[in-house]
Amino acid sequence: MTTIDKNMPICKCHNYPMRWKKNPRNSKGGDWTCTIKRREESLKWQKENKEKRAIILKRYFQSEKGRKNIYKVNNSTKGYLRKRKFQLKGQRENILSELQKLREENPWIMN
């Protein structure tokens, strides 16, 4: 979520700051849209078009722009921490599954 700016108009439907959507066909260069409606529409489209979205993302990450973005994220601190979080989560799940197997084999093992 972006930071809330006092200059942003408030939407009437959700009483939440709106976002600027660029539109070169518009004389002003864009329009203010409801953030929450936009998010709901986006999630709805993603659910309805899973195959199409997969093709689009694959094409993007094969492009030069997509590869640069991956490189930038992977070499950032945030990217490293995200990757490490998933590694630790996987290790934890492996340890718990091994412990569960040991408990099944040896019922005398306590918590």
Q: Is residue 32 part of a domain?
A: yes
Q: Is residue 75 part of a domain?
A: no
More confident residue, 25 or 44: 44
pLDDT at 28 over 80: yes
Q: Is residue 44 part of a domain?
A: yes
Q: Is residue 90 part of a domain?
A: no
Written as six digits, the tokens of 45 are 């489209």
Greatest distance between any 2 Cα atoms in the chain? 76
Angle at 14 between CA 12 and CA 17, to 5 degrees: 80
Which residue range(s) make up the domain with 12? 1-48
pLDDT at 1 over 50: no
Q: Is residue 76 part of a domain?
A: no
pLDDT at 79 over 90: no
Q: How many domains does the chain have?
A: 1
pTM of the model: 0.48
Residue 25 contacts residue 14 (beta carbons within 8 Å): no
| 46-84 residues labelled b (16+ CB within 10 A) or e (exposed) | eeeeeeeeeeeeeeeeeeeeeeeeeeeeeeeeeeeeeee
Alpha-helix runs per DSSP H in the chain = 35-48, 50-62, 64-74, 77-105
- pLDDT-based confidence at residue 21 (cuts at 50, 70, 90): confident
**Residue 76 amino acid letter:** S
Q: Is residue 2 part of a domain?
A: yes
Q: What is the pLDDT of residue 3?
A: 59
Residue 15 contacts residue 4 (beta carbons within 8 Å): no
Q: Is residue 25 part of a domain?
A: yes
Percent of residues, the chain, with pLDDT higher than 90: 31
